[in-house]
Amino acid sequence: MNTALKQWKEASTLILTAGRRLGADSLSPRTPLDGNGAATRLPHSSEFDYDVLLLKRSAKSTFMPNAYVFPGGMVDSSDFSSDWLDVFKSFLNSPGFGLRSVKQPVENRPPIFATNRLKLGSPIPGEVALRICAVRETFEESGVLLVVPKKEEKRILKSFQDTRFSQHHTEHKLGCDELSKWRALVNKNPSNFMRMCQELEVLPNIWALHEWANWLTPTAKYGRTRFDTAFFMCCLQEMPSTLQDEKEIERFQWSTPSEILQSYQARRLWIAPPQFYELSRMCRFPLLDNLHSFAHQRATEGCDQWMPVIVLQDQQHISLLPGDKLYPADPSKPTKNDQKDSQLEDPTDDSDLHRMVMSDPYTTTLQITVKPKYNHLLPVVTPALSHNPKS
């Protein structure tokens, strides 16, 4: 755990998808694009053959109460414990415990991935510990346990020899009582997650988690707590069973990306801007096989660190993202919201736009003319939906 961080707490989030039966009126496997590479419409829910897991945070939460979020949470010191070396001992001769290497030069990597953890006292690479954190937090919050039996170590090691290897993953099946017992223990103390893995002879399935994004909480948003969060993607063949967390999480739901976006803009639920952006990206792939194949192949490219910079313009909050022509050279410096920028007011200048425009908490539109880096996806860009329930 990076104790040198003064403004941010490190965290991991998991975008967990699971297969469902495809609707009879399904269309193309990928959302059609216009001549500029932008998606032309939001896919209908029946076109998706998978759902995404969302959890509703408690109204008593200190960070984004009542928000619907992907499972995840803060990194714990136990995620970096040297005791994991014994759990993963069969993989110690494989770089990164068998995780595929990322092509992105280390000097361009987000600090959450690039930080040398050995210098901070941990032999566990950051890319491993962040995945352990995501698996642990997903288990704590939803009861979904993403582990593999140690008896499958040889199969996993063999798969490393095939760079094209990609397969869907399944959750680990435990009896309900056993699952509930361990979940309570892990919720009580995160270090019990390692103890559980040792006693059940399982491994956190870090290889099922594909690097997807890195978001930082903007300055002066959501209270004093700020997070540097690694986002991972995981695709399951079948929908797993879930157990509701009675502390931080009020409820959970499985929905298609388009259903979530439509419910958000119909004001039936609230999602934070990173969730809006990532779900809009996922709408480019209504079929799980295509999403999984893309996530698996793209993960080795790396990702950018994104810290939105918020400016106020005509009672709209504009969230500037890296690549936008107005994104500051030093995004950590607070912006002066009382100063209008003439470039923001020019509707004809659409060069180098990468921003989210929020008219109110439930009305967000994306303005993007830049090309995504590291072979990532452009989101589906659609107008804000009508609030008329009949629309």
Looking at residue 109, the DSSP 8-state letter turns out to be S
Average pLDDT, the chain: 85
- Candidates 53, 101, 10, 11; CA nearest to 282 is 53
Mean pLDDT of 148-175: 70
Q: Tell me the C-alpha distance between 1 and 126, whole Å.
A: 8
DSSP code at position 86: H
Beta strand 9-19 with 227-236 is: parallel
Q: Report the alpha-carbon distance of residue 197 to residue 174 in Å, rounded.
A: 12
Select from 4, 36, 7, 3 the least CA-distant residue to 331. Answer: 7
**pLDDT value of position 361:** 92
Is the model more confident about 36 or about 226? 226
Q: How far apart are CA 193 and CA 190, in angstroms?
A: 6
Q: What is the reported pLDDT for 42?
A: 81
CA–CA separation, 26 vs 46, rounded Å?
6
Q: Which of 173, 156, 278 is nearest to 236 (CA)?
A: 173
pLDDT tens for 319-348 read 999 999 999 998 877 655 434 444 555 555
Q: Is 342 exposed, middle or buried (0-12, 13-18, 19+ CB in 10 A)?
A: exposed
- The percentage of the chain sitting over the pLDDT mark of 70, rounded to a whole number, equals 80
Q: Which residue has the tokens 């994004």?
A: 213
Run of H or E including 282: helix 273-282
Question: Does residue 178 have a pLDDT over 80?
Answer: yes
Which residue in 134, 30, 157 sits closest to 75, CA to CA? 134
Q: What is the mean pLDDT of residues 357-363?
A: 94
Determine contact, residues 292/168, Cβ cutoff 8 Å.
yes
Distance CA 346, CA 343 (A): 5
| Residue 284: both structure tokens together | 């480019």
Report the distance separating Cα 120 and Cα 49, nearest Å.
Answer: 43
Between CA 332 and CA 342, with CA 336 as vertex, the angle to 5 degrees is 110
Query: What dotted CATH number matches 9-20+37-305?
Result: 3.90.79.10
Delimit the domains of the chain by residue range.
Answer: 9-20+37-305, 307-368
Q: How far apart are CA 302 and CA 245, in angstroms?
A: 32
What pTM does this model have? 0.88
Q: Which positions ≥6 away from 19 have C-beta within 8 Å? A: 49, 50, 168, 236, 237, 238, 239, 288
pLDDT band at 219 (very low <50, low <70, confident <90, very high): confident
The CA distance from 184 to 61, in Å, is 19
Look at residue 127 and tell me whether its pLDDT is greater than 80. yes
| C-beta of residue 31 within 8 angstroms of C-beta of residue 286 | yes
